[in-house]
Amino acid sequence: MNKSKLKTSETYRIKQEILRAKALNKGVKLIAPETIYLCSDTIFGKNVTVEPYVVIGPKVKIGSNSVIRSFSYLEGTHIEKNVSIGPYARLRSGTNIKSFAKIGNFVETKKSKISSNTKVNHLSYIGDTIIGKNSNIGAGTITCNYDGKKKSRTIISDKVFVGSNSSLVAPINLKSGSTVGAGSVITKNVNKNSLAITRSQQIEVKNFNRKKKNVRNNRHSK
């Protein structure tokens, strides 16, 4: 490595040490601070915890009593009070997380608002979306916001339950109190307090004889 690159690397290392020290002095609980990377414009509230291997990019604000769990990446994100993020979450620009919401493991968000007491716990993509209060987004849910030419918005109102492995094809509106059955592809608006479900009928063949692969034992073959 040449001297210029070494100097740049050393400058970055020193900058990170200064940012970490500043956060610690403000009362932020950085667990294994040497593994956490901050930005100069990061704003922390009171009693914030950041677990190991978190990267915080530009324009991030984290409210009081919030926890950022390991291996999460944040940029352009506003997090209010008492929020739990991660582990392994990716919050992209335009994300706004309201108080007492939860973003779980392997969840990605972009240009979306997640309101108070709403949970997106596992393995989901939430893009160009507004989610109301007290809603639950099941594991594997995808907001299909891009049709190859333009991006469209998904609106999920208060007290909505979206079952696991569902695809919500934008533009779409799930109204208050509605439910989406697991495994559904939803392409039309869902009315208030209604159930929407799209599944093929399950077929069962009795006494099915599955073909088995012939396995030759070549142990003693010449």
Which residues are known to be catalytic?
122
* Measured torsion, CA atoms of residues 88, 175, 188, 107, in degrees rounded to the nearest 10: 0
Given the DSSP bridges, would you call strands 172-174 and 29-30 parallel, antiparallel or unpaired?
unpaired
Yes or no: say if 119 and 104 are a contact pair by the CB < 8 Å rule.
yes
Checking 79-82 for CB contacts under 8 A at 24+ apart, the result is 81/45
Yes or no: say if 144 and 126 are a contact pair by the CB < 8 Å rule.
no
- Phi/psi for 91 (5° steps) reads -105, 115
Scanning the chain, the segments in alpha helix (DSSP H) are 3-25
Q: Which two tokens stand for residue 3?
A: 């001297």
Q: Which two tokens stand for residue 123?
A: 């393995």
